[in-house]
Structure 1
């Protein structure tokens, strides 16, 4: 293929010093013209070399056919071209003293000598490098673990590519645990390296394939792992010189702080430090909440994790959960903030995480064995005392905790967890937690509620769940992610751990809000017109007699006009644990007549359904929808899980953007825009809009560039959209 390019030659008559005409440097990687005119001859001869590769062994040579001289644009043809010398005669008059541009047309040609040179060079390189490749094998000297969360006792070379490892074990009364995380710094490319753990912990089996990464971001399992003479071996042939290797997917303290800083750009996310570790590291507490919804209309979940540093899997689940809740993960997660607040302490034992410990803190203490049952915090390590104090401050400050979850990971080949035993708590408490576990199993394919174990003094004392039950009566569980594989035999991946974020969110929702306004088939609705009212409750522990169909009672109440009606919900089939009223409760937009079997409501009024578990009042819950009266909306328009379709265009935008949304029924709409610090920069107070697609223009000409969040509330629905302003 022909190649056209331009080169600038400035010709001047030779001087005594032998100046020649020259061309300025070309861009790297572009063809370059080099003249070779005699310093004493007029310009009748042009030399050239075309360089289109920085590697001299793969350059292409070209035959120069013609060029165009400026300023007269004369075309000069060349002949008698010699590729090796790069010289061609000009069929032109003397152009001495002229400055001109060359427009060159070249035809590529490979020379036989160039090809031979290239082949010889490759052969020489192979011959010279073979001994280097053969002898540059991995030894213990190539390993290091002096980085955040890195851990190893010692490493010695048994032979090239065979390394003996001694773990730094945490010994808990003979129950040993061994987190390891190290790096091969060099020489791993193409090598099949075998590692032998001489002091495996009591839980390691041939299924414990470590994770490996070439970049510290993307991880894969070692290809082989086996037991022999009570030593654990693993081997892999690596495709890069340096490799990170860990017992499980690392998630460091620095990773967590970077994540929290990113999430804090949302107006629904904030975090603070509640205390320090033994070595003075700050312990973060994240709050995820919609400040626009009153606290007394929501329930609250507290979650803590990483009391044991090596138990990294739930940290990925919490990452996904936190992202989902502010709208940066799976769609729909942010809707939970309409009825739930979250308080999350993602890392408790931060010294242990940073310094590469397994189960203990830097004092050698297992933090989940020293929780006290009062506010004296006697005998608690600084990490536990800080977290315990934050929980007490929240409760004694008049706030609620409806569910507490302590997240762990374990070497078992399946997910499970602990709940307080029936003897430590009481039967209704125990059965109610069974309902939560069944919800978890429905939402999470990795869970089997029957694998969960009882927790009491026979297992251990000083566990957080025991302490908070004794002190505050809290409903709590301790979940255990498998750090190796699931019960179906599939190995964990980061993706599978992240996917559980949504599964836990749905389980909290189903457990804490067991009742929903639905249609007669059980599909959720979000407002009531003149259609009959149905309520569905899911409470598995209310199925007290598997041989009969049972029933429960809910109270329906309007917010403003005070009408109250009772509904009897009947079990949909024997042992289902799902209850719904057989006959719909009719609404009327009329004067109130309490307990007449008709719910009298006002337009755009909230209607509440309240359910009290007669066995376990702590399981009491409520939900609400809006009642809407409009001649333009009929029962067939009742939406199932409606969305507001909030968006803006253009995005990113410069000064002005149109915020579009769709509302399913006439409603009061409130729009608020926050900056990344959570400050309100623009708002439109409640304004009545008709049903259908709507648009609001935002003129941000007086607002600086940045990321902004738009929150729209229409009736009982709300949505958030991120917008980018660029000027």
Structure 2
């Protein structure tokens, strides 16, 4: 068996590969840390060997990862098509977590397979999404600036309505479900036969940054950019040197104003889809709370994968370094963080797939109905 992670978004280190017989191999692995930060959780790699072989894998440093609770009740995703194949090809492989090790087995009928923490969404796929979306006459594409490694930070602006809506995704690059969610949102938004999208674009202009952290995504990071910065803790004091991605977006948001801000993420530990509100910012108003309540109520009815019973415990104070908190305070707008699981939805389980690209995309599409109601 050969294991490689030398591609965009790849991350794994091989400790040893132990031949177990004619048709059995086992691999001992470790997840590599983010380049200039100590975060690590994301993995993605390709295995190749004899067709029909039975493989066993163990990630030996899982217990020391950034979010060890994320392995409890978690199953690895696998595909025989790889990151360039169909998103529906990623399925769950029963996995176990014990003594700090994440383990699973796989029968490689075709002799190769890819394994990942969640279905990957590479910078190349993001660029293809941007290029395809920019072909629409409704869309204006611009590059807000360049990352520390010279990659473009793309902004897609859709429609001409008076209310500015901002949607950003992948501040944490390993939370690839955020990109799948935005892909689904864009597909529905640009459907000329969709009445909700048409009504929304009469009322609003949507500004979307589908990949906030291109450098981290290319490097296979879970949380940080090329400078080792957690972008979602940099909004109050963003700088071009350490957090240019946030700095560029903040400046553009100041120019457009913001009526609604949605920051799309994934949560390693909680098996639920939920939002984190900004009801605790110093200048919160009853109108902001009422609009947030309307948004979540409509989203819960539109997509029952979303729920409101489980989430983070409320905090009496707001951390304004976080994007959604900063935006709420800066603009007095409806502002939320949308969280999705790496596991399955405990309230709506699909064990063979868990939370999947298709479910992410449907959630993104459903968000448009909730936005329309909130506006």
Instruction: Note whether the superposition's TM-score is higher than 0.5.
Output: yes
Note if contact 1:288-1:342 (Cα within 8 Å) is conserved in structure 2: yes
1:495 matches 2:358: yes
State the match for 1:418 in structure 2. 276
Pairs aligned (count): 357
Note if contact 1:190-1:238 (Cα within 8 Å) is conserved in structure 2: yes
Note if contact 2:280-2:317 (Cα within 8 Å) is conserved in structure 1: no
Secondary structure at 2:143 match in 1 = strand
- Which residues in structure 2 correspond to 1:535-574 (within 5 Å)? none
**Whose relative contact order is higher, 1 or 2, with alpha carbons under 8 Å and at least 6 apart?**
2
1:434 matches 2:293: yes
1:251 matches 2:121: yes
1:381 matches 2:243: yes
Query: 1:371 and 1:484 mapped to 2: Cα distance?
Result: 28
Q: 2:308 aligns with which of 433, 446, 449?
A: 449
1:391 matches 2:249: no
1:207 matches 2:65: no
Note if contact 1:252-1:353 (Cα within 8 Å) is conserved in structure 2: yes
Note if contact 2:276-2:336 (Cα within 8 Å) is conserved in structure 1: yes
- Deviations along 1:188-234, one digit per CA (max 9) or x if unpaired, are x2122111010112133253222222222132334321123221101
| Unpaired stretches in structure 1, ≥5 consecutive residues | 1-137, 396-400, 513-727
State the match for 1:483 in structure 2. 342
- Deviations along 1:263-312, one digit per CA (max 9) or x if unpaired, are 2221112211001111111100001115xxxx4xx423110110000001
Q: 2:55 aligns with which of 163, 182, 193?
A: 193
Query: 1:164 and 1:448 mapped to 2: Cα distance?
Result: 38
Q: 1:351 aligns with which of 196, 202, 215?
A: 215
Q: Name the structure where strand makes up a greater proportion of residues.
A: 1
Query: 1:332 and 1:437 mapped to 2: Cα distance?
Result: 17
State the match for 2:233 in structure 1. 369
State the match for 2:173 in structure 1. 309
Cα displacement (A) at 1:425:
4.2
Cα displacement (A) at 1:435:
2.6
Report the CA distance shift for 1:435/1:379 in structure 2 as closer, same or farther (over 3 A): farther
Q: Name the structure where helix makes up a greater proportion of residues.
A: 2
Query: 1:495 and 1:289 mapped to 2: Cα distance?
Result: 25
Query: 2:31 and 2:194 mapped to 1: Cα distance?
Result: 39
Per the normalisation by structure 1, the TM-score is: 0.46
Cα displacement (A) at 1:415:
0.8
Query: 2:180 and 2:140 mapped to 1: Cα distance?
Result: 19
- Deviations along 1:424-483, one digit per CA (max 9) or x if unpaired, are 443613344223222221212111223344676857451112222333323200010112
Note if contact 2:273-2:305 (Cα within 8 Å) is conserved in structure 1: yes
- Deviations along 1:108-154, one digit per CA (max 9) or x if unpaired, are xxxxxxxxxxxxxxxxxxxxxxxxxxxxxx2xxx0110111111133
Note if contact 1:151-1:179 (Cα within 8 Å) is conserved in structure 2: yes
**Structure number with larger C-alpha Rg:** 1
Secondary structure at 1:420 match in 2 = coil
Note if contact 2:327-2:333 (Cα within 8 Å) is conserved in structure 1: yes
Secondary structure at 2:96 match in 1 = strand
Report the CA distance shift for 1:235/1:204 in structure 2 as closer, same or farther (over 3 A): farther
Query: 1:329 and 1:323 mapped to 2: Cα distance?
Result: 12
| Unpaired stretches in structure 2, ≥5 consecutive residues | none
